Structures are given as structure tokens and as C-alpha cells.
Structure 1
Amino acid sequence: MSQARALSMPQIVSYGALGLPLAFAALPIYVHVPKLYADDLGLSLTVVGAILLGARVVDAVTDPLFGWLGDHVASRLRWIVLALPLLAVGMFGLLSPPGDAGPLWLLCLLVLACAGYSMASVNYHAWGAEMAGGPGERTRVMASREGFGLVGVVMAAALPGFLADDIAPGLQRLAWGFIPLLGIAALITLWGAPQAGASAPARERPWVALRRALARPAFVRLLILFGLGGIAASIPASTVLFFVEDVIGRPDASGPLLAVYFVAGAAGLPVWVKLSDRLGKVGAWMVAMIVAIVAFVWAAMLGPGDLMAFGVICALSGLALGADLALPPAILADQLGERGGAGEGAGAGSSFGWWNLVAKASLALAAGLALPLLDLFGYTPGRDGEAGRLALALVYAALPVLLKLFALGLTWHWRHQLGAKS
């Protein structure tokens, strides 16, 4: 249920704080883990990509179920409190593997970390949608959460290189720092944000409520667009370290370049909030897609030594990322608000359960598609060669451009059907 009174800025900021460690946890899984387990532990890129994809098969069940549980069994805050220790243990084991860790270790720790992440983030996202009282306030609540999230991703991107010269010890130290960071942010959010509403008694079985959420055409269209955009953004995230090393030829610059990408995303959030007030959320999102397309077309043309040009591309694509993070969930919150918060029987938790599933499936599909494609094209990490650079250019840049163009066309076609307030 939405709050009767407008939220204060301290409440909005307090709510956003938990977004920092949740985003902090997500980045190493899809950016650093493939390189850690392939380079340092000797797993093939195909095996790593398949495990990332397989872990999401488990999420196909757990994410929507966690959403239904948050709607109907105990409060959202209790589920978040239960989830955070699972996330902490899973992340620590994933980023600090023993020297003989193999595919089974990677799979088990991924499942544990993802279960904790799912349980926390589904209920956290639904809580934000329920606490905001109008379209403008929803955009600001989502922007607060995603702004903190981008700060978390910047920290996760920059700290491994700052903490150690090699990725393995850097990630191990990162894992130690993640636990207190998670605890502090959780305390700020759980004490400072408006309390989440009580769960509603379950009147139907979980799969009936979850199916009801998918009965809304506007929601399904938004899920499709969100998924396409997520895959397009996640393919570069899964391959950027390889691109910086073997195309640009500056592996030492990977940390600063990632920081530029995510800082640009955070800095651009106020721009997208203002632009959505003028063009609507859907119109602003389409502008962001065009910015991303231009950036990745340029990236496909780069070669060794083009560090400054790639820095500009990171800033442009990061700017577009801010819109991808803040605007789609705000559109979903508007859809739920138009239906009194329940979506004709589908609670916010059920809707964000599907949402979280699509978000993580997009990440997994990106890794499961991009890494085997690089293998298929004959790319070997750390080896120079024109064929390898061409493979990276096709996978890192050209594939996201095609996906973004498709998403842009669908968004234009569905622009009047995604929500009256968007």
C-alpha cells in the first residue's frame, strides 16, 4: 500500500542505502567471477558460462516464489533480514575459493549467493514500489535505490585492483569488506525507511497468483523490453575485461574504466529524472537506448591504444545504464499504482519476483551466450591476434547494438501501452 503522506528526503535516502551492497554483490558475479574461475582456476569459458546459466534455472523457481511469500507469508522486512546472512556467506565463498575449487564449488556458492540475493532484492524492490505515493515520487525512490546501487558497483569495480595487484587476492579482500558493508547499509534502511506493510493472507495458491501477474499485457510487454535491455547491457559487462586487455591493450586501466562507466550512470540519474518529467518515462528510456546504440557502434571500431576513446564510450554507455536501471522499475511501479498496488490480484511481490527473475536471467543469458560465442570464434584470453580482436568486437559491441535496436523498435511500437502515467 502507498504511504498517505509524501516521503521525506531522509526516508528516500535511507531506503536507497541497501541498494549499495546488493549492487556491490551483483557486479563481481558477472564481471570478475568469469575471469577469476577461467584464468586463475583453469575452468573453460564454456563451463563458466554454462554454470552461470544453470544457476539461473534455480532462480526460475525461487524468484517468483520469494515474491509471493513476501506478499502473503510474513513481512517483507523479515524476509530481507533472513536473506542477508545467506548472501554474505555465499559471496564470501564465491570470491575466496580454495585453490582446487572446481565447477561444483562455483555452482553451489552461486546458488547460495543468488538465493540470498533473490530473497532480499525481490522484497526490497516491492517495498519501494509500495511506499511511494505518485509517479514523480516513485521515480525518485527508484533513482535513490539505483544511485546507491551504482555507487556500490563503482566500489566493486575499483576495489579489487586497489586492494591487490592480482584479481584473486583483490577479490578475497573484497569479500572480507563486503560483510560489514552489508550490515551497515541494512541497518540504515531497516531503521530509517518507512516500515513495509504487513503481508496479506493468501487466498490462492502461489502459482495462481504468479500466473495472474502475467495476465496483464502491459506488464508482460515491459518484462520483454526490460529483458532485452538487460541482455544488451550484460554482454559488455561479461566481456569488458577481455575487451580492455586484448582490444584496447591496457588491462591496467580496467578498474578506472569501470569506475567511469558506473560513475557516469550515477551522475546521469538526475538527468533522466528531469527528462522523464518532460518526455515521460518511456520517452526518456528511448533516448537512453539511442545513446547506448551510438556508444557501442563506436566501440566496434576501436583498436589497440584507443584508451581515451574507450573512456568516452564508457561514459556514454554508463549514462544510458542509469536510465536502464531507474526508469523501467519506475514504470512498473506506476503500473501497480494504477491498479491500486495489487495488480488485479497480483501483489507487488509477485510482480517484482518475475522482474527479478528476468533481470538475473538476462545477466545469465548474456554470459551463457557471450562466453561460448568467444570460444566458438576461437578467442583465447590474453593472446593477441586480429581474429581474437574481431571476435571481441562482434560480441562486446555489435551484438548489444542489434539487441538495443530491436528493443527500441518494440518500445516505440508499445509506447502507448506500457502505462498511462509513463
Structure 2
Amino acid sequence: MNLAAPRWWQLAAYGLPGLPLAMAALPVYVQVAAYYHQLHGTELALLGWVMFAARLLDTLQDPCIGYLIDRLRHVKRWLLAGALLLGAAFAALWQAPTALLAPALWLAIMLCLAYSAHSLLNITYLAWGSRLPAQAGHGTAPLLSATAWREGWGLLGLIIGSTVPATILSQSPAQVAYRMGWYSLAFAVLLGLAVLALLTLAPPWPATAQATPHWRGVARQIWANQNFRRLLLPYLLNSCAVALPATLALFFISDQLQAAGLAGLFLGSYFVAAAAGLPLWTRLARRYGALACWRGGMLLAIASFAGTALLGPGDVWQYELICIAAGTALGADLAMPSVLAARAIPAEQAAAAYFGVLTLLGKLALALSGLSLPLLAMLGYQPGQSSPAGQLALPLVYAVLPCALKLLALLTLHRADSEPVPQLRSTA
């Protein structure tokens, strides 16, 4: 007998943890290095190595965390423990006890704890949502709606995480630690409320009927799943195409457009457009399928972003239109891959290990995007300095290379469809 379809408020409760998880992710990835350099005088080279090592650990541990989640019996207790650890580690990141430990050592320890707790929560969260269709027996409508709620809350978290800490860090250094402490407290409260909403109001945790096999068996299951495996290369290429301009956006706005004061407007409109586009992509996916919508989003991203390399000083309204169009395309990138992955996982297999692989690829894309900075330096670009080589290198790496990667992702996704990949249509 099929269970009743989840109500909208249950799906909204499921999506709510996306907000604090995004709030925590962006400051850790983007702003923590500037914070330690500004307040504690930590050398940039040392910060770079600490951040790289912590991110490498974070990337490699995700499949292991996914496998462990599949074997947990009391997953709710682990979710609560992960939330407590993430809240504490995130707050501790901004309150380094310099009298007891070197700031770089404190940063390394807290990053490892924060990354591990975030991965535990995020992978469990993705696996939870992936089983909604199997639970309800109402086609893909619950999965698409849950994904839209999750990514919509997550985009709101990105907007908060990209504006509030940046505003705090731009103020008097004497007040930064104090104000980041209040931000951390607000984050911890939101995280606690979101996890409680997930545990009490959302559709229940989707337990699998079969015991999870040994990790070698799980690895063989994933590798043997051709529908899932064919999504991996397009997902990695597309993630790199998204991460690369995100890494270089502030440099492009400042040096190419010479409009550093409008950076907040551009980034805000990008994320708001993505949030506004999510309901549209969800409706289109119910009618045409998630695979077709992901392709459409890629085409829109390429068409809107291709002309960015031609922009120069003062072309702010043209860039604003590009941000809106590219942000709209981002809605498809955020929602459709996880929907396709969920539909590719057999109902009798545990899902967390699969999503551990996906999150590994997403974090690998973030790590690879960091290589764009030494690449630009090698091509002659120096931030704040104008030279013919730099003026050519920055738009090439910021705009042309992501479009090429996005096109490769689109082509490999087309090739992946040579054998059936589930087309998602609502039967509700």
C-alpha cells in the first residue's frame, strides 16, 4: 500500500536544513582565510596550505562518511550530534585562542571538525530526500518538490552567507570577532531549529529493507550502476564550470569591469535569480523530465555567459543581465543532478554512499577551481594591475574556459543518454 503523498509543509520542513548548511559553507570556503590573515597576521602561504589540506581531507572522506551513514541504526542521534559539532566548530573558527595555540593550528583543527560535521549532515540530508518517491509511491513529484524546497532554502542561506560575514569583515577589526560570534550564535540557533524540523515534521527517515553490504560490495554496486556512473563525468565538468567563475568573480568585477562597489549587487542578483528560477525548472521537469531540463539549463548558461569575455570597464548593466540569466540557469544545475542521481539508485540499495561520491566530485571541483589563480599568474595577470597579458588572461579563464567546460559537460551528458537514463515525469 502506498503512503499518503507528503504535504507541502512536510517538504518545506525537509528543505529547511539547506539554509544553515549553506550559511556555514560559504564563509568557511571564502572568508575564513581573509579573517585569519587580517586579525591574526597568519601568512597567506601558510593559510593556503592549511586550507588545501583540510579541503583535501574533506573531499576524500565523503564516500567513507556515506558508507557509514548507510550502516547507522540511530541516524537521528547522529544528526543531532553532527549539528552540535558543526555549531560548536563553526563558532570556534572565529574565536581562536591565540594565547594557547598558534592560529594556523587552531584553524586546521576547527576546519577538520567543521568539514566532517557538515559532510555528515549534508550526505544524510541528501540521502533522506532521495527516498521520498519510494516512500510515497507517487512518482517523482515528491522528489522534485523536496529538491526545490532544499535548494531554495539553500540559496537563501547562500545570500545570507555571502553578505553578512563579508559586511562584518569589512568593518573595524576590533569588532570583527565579537560580531562573528553573534553570527555564529544565530547560525547555531537556525541549525538546531532546522534539524528539529527535519526530525519531527518532515517525512520519516527512509530505512532500507536490506542490510548494507561490506564497503567493497557497496563500491561494486556503485560501479555496476551504469545510469549513475554515466552522470559522474558530466557532473564533475559542470561543477568545475560553475566553481571557476565563482572563484574569480570578484577579480573580474574589480579589474575587468572596474566596478568593485557593485559586487554585492551582482552576486545578490545571481543568487536571487537562481532562487526565482527553481520553481520554473521544477515545473518543466515534471513535464519534460529532469535530464532535458538540465540540458536546457546548460544551454542557457552557455548562451548567457559566452559574451562575458567581451565586456570591459563600465559595462555594468550588460553584466547585470548576464548575472540574472546565468543565475536562472544555476537553478537547473542545483536541482536536476541530484534528482537524476536519486532516480538512478535502486530502491533496495542504500543511498548515502552514492551521494558521498557526488559530494566528493563537487568538492573536487571547488579544489580544482583554486588552481585558476596560479594559472592566471602564469598567464601574466596580477590583481589590481593592468597589463595586456592580464587583460586577455582574466576574461579567458573567467568566461571562455567555463563555457568550454559546460559544453563538454553537455556533450558527455548527451552521450550518457545513449542508453536510457530515467526521464522524470510526474505520475501524481
1:364 paired residue number: 367
Match of 1:332? 341
Distance 1:114 1:143 in 2: 24
Question: What TM-score results when the alignment is normalised by the length of structure 2?
Answer: 0.87
Offset, 1:212? 1.8
Structure 1 unaligned runs (5+)? none
Q: Within the alignment, does 1:302 sit opposite 2:311 as a pair? A: yes
Q: Which moved more, 1:31-40 or 1:81-90?
A: 31-40
CA deviation after TM superposition for structure 1 residue 241, in Å: 1.9
SS at match of 2:242: helix
Equivalent-residue separation in structure 1 for 2:226 and 2:155 (angstroms):
30
CA RMSD after TM alignment = 2.8
The equivalent residue for 2:117 is 116
The match for 1:351 is: 354
Give 1:405's aligned residue. Answer: 407
Distance 1:232 1:108, change over 3 A: farther
Letter aligned with residue 135 of structure 1 = T
- Asked whether the 8 Å contact 2:238–2:409 carries over to 1, the reply is yes
Offset of 1:138 from its aligned partner?
1.0
Question: Cα distance 1:131–1:185, how it changes in 2: closer, same or farther (>3 A)?
Answer: same
Equivalent pair of 1:225/1:407 in contact (CA under 8 Å): yes
User: Counterparts of 2:13 and 2:107 in 1: how far apart (Å)?
Assistant: 34
What one-letter code is carried by the residue in structure 2 that aligns with 1:90?
A
Per the alignment, residue 279 of structure 1 pairs with 288
Q: Which is greater in Rg?
A: 2
- The residue type paired with residue 361 of structure 2 is V
| SS of structure 2 residue aligned to 1:300 | helix
Greater Cα offset, 279-288 or 354-363: 354-363
Q: State the AA in 2 paired with 1:9.
A: W
Q: In the alignment, is residue 226 of structure 1 matched against residue 235 of structure 2?
A: yes
User: Contact (CA 8 Å) 2:301, 2:329: kept in 1 or not?
Assistant: yes
**Against the structure 1 CA distance between its residues 108 and 240, is the aligned structure 2 distance closer, same or farther, given a 3 Å change threshold?**
farther
Q: Give the direction of change, closer, same or farther, for the CA distance of 1:38–1:193 in structure 2 (3 Å limit).
A: same
Number of residue-to-residue matches in the alignment: 413
Indicate the SS of the match to 1:214. helix
| Partner residue, 2:376 | 374
Aligned position for 2:69: 70
Looking at structure 2, the residues matched to 244 and 101 of structure 1 have their Cα atoms a distance apart, in angstroms, of: 35
Report the equivalent of 1:13.
Answer: 12
Mark the CA change 1:48 to 1:292 in structure 2 (over 3 Å): closer, same or farther. Answer: farther
1:229-283 deviation per Cα after TM superposition (whole angstroms, max 9, x unaligned): 1111011112212222222222222222211111111100011112223321111
Cα 1:3/1:245, change in 2 over 3 Å: farther
CA apart distance, 1:162: 4.3
Match of 1:160 among 165, 181, 186: 165
Q: 113, 117, 142: which is aligned to 1:137? A: 142
More displaced stretch, 207-216 vs 139-148: 207-216
- The CA deviation at 1:174 is 3.8
Q: Deviations over 1:348-389 (max 9, x none)?
A: 11111212222222222222x222223323433344444434
Please report how far the alpha carbon of residue 203 of structure 1 lies from its aligned counterpart in structure 2 after TM superposition: 5.4
Contact 2:208 2:350 survives alignment (8 Å): no
The 2-side partners of 1:404 and 1:183 are apart by: 37
Amino acid at match of 2:85: L
- Determine helix, strand or coil for the equivalent of 1:420: coil
Percent identity over the alignment is 36
**Distance (Å, rounded) in 1 between the aligned partners of 2:104 and 2:248:** 20
TM-score by length of 1: 0.88
Displacement of 1:101 in angstroms is 6.4
Hey, what's the Cα distance between the residues in 2 that align with 1:306 and 1:390?
16
What stretches of structure 2 of length at least 5 have no aligned partner?
none
Shift of 1:294: 2.1
> Is residue 158–residue 256 contact of structure 1 (8 Å, CA) maintained in 2?
no
2:329 is aligned to 320
Q: For residues 97 and 227 of structure 1, do their structure 2 counterparts lie closer, same or farther at Cα, with a shift above 3 Å needed? A: farther
Asked if residue 87 in structure 1 is aligned to residue 86 in structure 2, the reply is yes
Q: 1:236 to 1:398 in 2, by over 3 A?
A: same
1:305 alignment partner, SS class: coil
Moved more, 320-329 or 379-388: 379-388
User: Structure 2 vs 1, CA of residues 203 and 71 (structure 1 numbering), >3 Å: closer, same or farther?
Assistant: closer
1:198-232 Cα distance to aligned partner (Å, 9 max, x none): 47674532232133222211111112211111111
Q: Say if 1:140 and 1:93 are closer, same or farther in 2 by CA, change over 3 A.
A: same
Q: 1:391 is matched by which residue type in structure 2?
A: A
**Distance in 1 separating the partners of 2:291 and 2:311:** 31
**Could you say what secondary structure the match of 1:78 adopts?**
helix
Deviation at 1:37, TM superposition (A): 5.5
Instruction: Indicate yes or no: 2:286 matched with 1:247.
Output: no
Q: Distance in 1 between matches of 2:380 and 2:315?
A: 23
- The yes-or-no answer on 1:264 pairing with 2:273 is yes
Q: 1:180 to 1:323 in 2, by over 3 A?
A: same
Shift of 1:58: 1.8
Cα deviation for residue 319 of structure 1 reads 1.0
SS, match of residue 421 in structure 1: coil
Query: Which has the higher mean CA deviation after the structures are superposed, 412-421 or 185-194?
Result: 412-421
1:40-51 aligned at under 5 Å gives the runs: 41=41, 43-44=43-44, 51=50
**Secondary structure in 2 aligned to 1:120?**
helix
> Residues of 2 paired with 1:77 and 1:176: CA distance?
23
